[in-house]
DNA sequence: GCTTGACCTCAAGTTTGCTTGAGGTTTTAC
DNA sequence: GTAAAACCTCAAGCAAACTTGAGGTCAAGC
């Protein structure tokens, strides 16, 4: 009868959490198996989640959108209270770290885009001069035919 | 005896191509199996690549850096000549399309970053107000306890 | 009180992009 | 002319992030 308690104490079944969080039930099972979330169990062994779990799953989803793999997300979530609302500080630290990750990813992609821009209409992919090519490739400019490599 | 010809006609063994392109031999086998590259064979059934393959592999690597999956890369490469240097036009079309893809990815990540910025120190992840949350989540604001959802 | 839908566990399957290994052949180098 | 290095094919394995399926239990409605 915990479900007759005030809403702050109400629990969610796995199906309810899945629907509200916008993920599949199997994904919640999976997250639990991976240790990203935990569940209480009824006498009949069915999962019940405190409402705060909705937020935790939301945090997982946001982190995934940044491109972070689940095991890193798990590390990050370890800093959050298991089933209670995270403090402002918790969240600030987390989101600031993720922001930096994201920023780095954005910088890498932007650099690549700018290089592509520079190479559109060039098409050289020159072993020695093209910024799109791995710098290590320059090492290959040895032996017979080296004078032609730039044309290849 | 093709290897006694001028360099433009020299071929590369799979090991040479791998080393110069900076990929593993197994990756080249894999690309061939997936139809991204092709190979000539010696009498003894060993792979030989025209030098232009070096560029093709370079193009594959650049495309991968943009985050494009191999099957899309394969589609894109289908527009390029199989073993000869692509025309400036070929390359311009390709790289411009990839640039747009990249740009879209960058925009999505940037938007996410800005949302994170806005939410650092907030931490609400509010079902109804937080831009980080899926808009669909607002639908869940029904039934008993709805007035408290924003606190969860 | 019974049917039906939601749940449970555990194992296996899926996709992407490769790598590793087994068992055997070709080339190259001395 | 032979030993070692490089190559060949095909099958299986790996990691991530889940999904699907089999076989069985729980709970809620009528």
What pLDDT does A1 receive? 36
CATH of A8-86, one of 3.40.50.880, 1.10.287.3510, 3.30.1010.10, 1.10.1660.10: 1.10.1660.10
Interface of A with B in 79-138 (CB under 8 A): 85-88, 90-92, 95-96, 98-99, 102-103, 105-106, 109-110, 112-113, 116-117, 119-123, 125, 127, 132-134, 136-137
Give which of B39, B23, B8 is closest to A152, Cα–Cα.
Answer: B8
Q: Are B2 and B10 in contact (CB under 8 A)?
A: yes
DSSP string, B105-125: HHHHHHHHHHHHHHHTTT---
- Express each pLDDT in A9-21 by its tens digit: 689 999 999 999 9
Give which of A76, A72, A103 is closest to A90, Cα–Cα.
Answer: A76
Residues with CB under 7 A from strand D: A 24, 26-27, 29-30, 42-46, 64, 69-71; B 13-16, 18, 25, 29, 39, 45-47
Whether the per-residue pLDDT at B23 is higher than 90: the answer is yes
Show the CA angle centred on residue B32, arms to residues B27 and B33, nearest 5°: 95
Distance separating alpha carbons of residues B108 and B110, to the nearest angstrom: 5
Q: How many CB atoms lie within 10 A of CB B141?
A: 14
What pLDDT does A125 receive? 61
Name the DSSP letter for residue B133. Answer: S
- The residue to which tokens 């509010």 are assigned: B126
- Express each pLDDT in A106-118 by its tens digit: 999 998 888 888 7
Distance CA B46 to C1' D3 in A: 20
Interface of B with A in 17-36 (CB under 8 A): 19-22
Overall average pLDDT of the B94-120 stretch: 86
**What residues of B are in contact with residue A127 (Cβ under 8 Å)?**
54
The answer to whether the beta carbon of residue B26 comes closer than 7 angstroms to any atom of strand C is: yes
What pLDDT does A57 receive? 93
**What residues of A are in contact with residue B145 (Cβ under 8 Å)?**
7, 10, 51
Domain locations along chain B:
8-86, 88-133+145-151
Distance separating alpha carbons of residues B37 and B57, to the nearest angstrom: 8
């Amino acid at each position: 009868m915990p479900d007759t308690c005030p809403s702050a104490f109400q629990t969610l079944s796995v199906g309810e959490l899945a629907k509200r969080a916008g993920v599949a039930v199997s994904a919640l099972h999976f997250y639990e198996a991976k240790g990203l979330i935990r569940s209480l169990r009824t006498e009949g062994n069915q999962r019940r989640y405190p409402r705060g779990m909705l937020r935790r799953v939301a945090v997982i989803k946001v982190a995934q959108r940044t491109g972070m793999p689940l095991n890193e997300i798990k590390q990050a979530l370890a800093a959050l209270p298991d089933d209670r609302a995270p403090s402002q500080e918790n969240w600030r630290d987390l989101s600031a770290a993720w922001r930096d990750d994201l920023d780095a990813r954005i910088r890498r992609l932007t650099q690549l885009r700018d290089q592509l821009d520079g190479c559109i209409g060039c098409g050289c992919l020159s072993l020695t001069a093209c910024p799109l090519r791995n710098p290590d490739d320059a090492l290959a400019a040895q032996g017979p035919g080296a004078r032609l490599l730039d044309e290849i």
